[in-house]
Structure 1
């Protein structure tokens, strides 16, 4: 039976390329985007390549939006196999006074956490039960080396804290799902040339999604509760 995947924040960048690569593996992909028009435009590009991709609007900070998506999946496909939590924001860019922890506003931290942590939490709570029905699931949380406690540094405080918290979420869900064939992992795609990464980043989008797609298509004996870059485990 054809597998079904959801990729959040997928109208561009890493999410868009993840959709392309999963669809090329004969996986039915649901491309989600907060902006419905941008999501539809992205899907049209992929459909023009002969790929099985559909769009659905999704605001990861809205429980109501997540519920609408869940009902759409259940009614349209009756199953879910892969969840890629890719949607993310960075509100404290380098050079901004808020890049110092001494100047960071609580409102910036709250906004960042709402998208980068609360969104994946709500999506996992809503969608993993669909995976349990078929005893199969792959959850990939797109994190960052900026969230590694082992190499924690200054700058981007809200973003760093949100990704550290996302890694904790990975470990908690993976632990509760032990033995269910639902594998939950975090991934650092590296510094990628996207709108967020900028034009000077060292990696192409294709390189950035390689480990994401690998984790999304792991065999049943694949790893869980891990943090990976270039298909290799890295320190938390």
Structure 2
């Protein structure tokens, strides 16, 4: 299992919900943090909570619908002069629930793809180039298990696209110490999932972060949080490494 103490993790959507929990989980294990919110001020709590645990923490801001802001955010991170070993791409948006789904506007797709697909992939590419030079890295992109709901077409399509490009990219790194995988936190009671979701957001741990701790040089897996519910981190890592298959392109995600 990877020891993250003293390493640096970049966590998007860390101001609240599952992203906040994932960032705090990493800090509790000694991992330094760069946390993202729409503005740095939105991350004041997670920065304070992380520093109270004795790790370093910085906040950056970007609205992911604006790629220029994403690019500036990445430049701001580079300017910190630290080596980012772990990326947890948690930030996302569910733009609308369209009961009249045949009236779904094009904007649902445009906004969803900018925030849920394009921004996390620009982040992925940026840090992969750096990880290629150090020979180590962990990237976990957040997907969704949503199926058969045309009422949420923009959201589900953008997550399916993220799955596809992440898994295809992962095939290029399988067998190296740069591991790229996806995670599905499940339907949780967060600002995105809504108050009627069946799962407590705490149930997403340790599943949403297990991809940061695996040490078997395998990429292209879906670490669905429900498969790890109630486990210790050590148990979750063993299960992730032994039981979760690598995507080959011949089966559904």
Query: In the alignment, what sits opposite 1:113?
Result: 113
Distance 1:75 1:158 in 2: 34
Of the three residues 195, 198, 214, the one matched with 1:199 is 195
Task: Judge conservation of contact 1:36–1:56 (CA < 8 Å) in 2.
Answer: yes
Query: In the alignment, what sits opposite 2:33?
Result: 29
Query: In the alignment, what sits opposite 1:81?
Result: 85
Of the three residues 15, 18, 24, the one matched with 1:20 is 24
Q: CA deviation at 1:40?
A: 2.5
Query: In the alignment, what sits opposite 2:12?
Result: 8
Q: Deviations over 1:58-87 (max 9, x none)?
A: 333444433333334334243111111111
Q: Deviations over 1:130-169 (max 9, x none)?
A: 21121111111111101xxxx5443211111011101001
Of the three residues 219, 226, 233, the one matched with 1:224 is 219
Distance 2:31 2:155 in 1: 31
Question: What are the residue-to-residue correspondences of 1:145-156 with 2, within 5 Å?
Answer: 145-146=145-146, 151-156=147-152
Task: Judge conservation of contact 1:186–1:227 (CA < 8 Å) in 2.
Answer: yes
Q: Secondary structure at the match of 1:202?
A: coil
Q: Deviations over 1:200-236 (max 9, x none)?
A: 22222221132111112211x1531112212464851
Distance 1:171 1:183 in 2: 11
Uncovered stretches (5+) of structure 2, i.e. residues with no partner: 229-242, 246-251
Distance 2:48 2:62 in 1: 17
Q: CA deviation at 1:50?
A: 4.5
TM-score by length of 1: 0.86
- Computed over aligned residues only, the root mean square deviation of the Cα atoms, in angstroms, reads 2.2
Q: Deviations over 1:38-72 (max 9, x none)?
A: 12243224434545432111333444433333334
Q: 1:204 to 1:167 in 2, by over 3 A?
A: same
Task: Judge conservation of contact 1:43–1:54 (CA < 8 Å) in 2.
Answer: yes
Task: Judge conservation of contact 1:91–1:158 (CA < 8 Å) in 2.
Answer: yes
Q: Secondary structure at the match of 1:14?
A: helix
- Greater mean alpha carbon deviation, residues 114-123 or residues 207-216: 207-216
TM-score by length of 2: 0.81
Uncovered stretches (5+) of structure 1, i.e. residues with no partner: none
Of the three residues 178, 181, 190, the one matched with 2:174 is 178
Query: In the alignment, what sits opposite 1:143?
Result: 143
Q: Deviations over 1:77-122 (max 9, x none)?
A: 43111111111001122xx345x1x211111111111000001111
Query: In the alignment, what sits opposite 1:70?
Result: 74
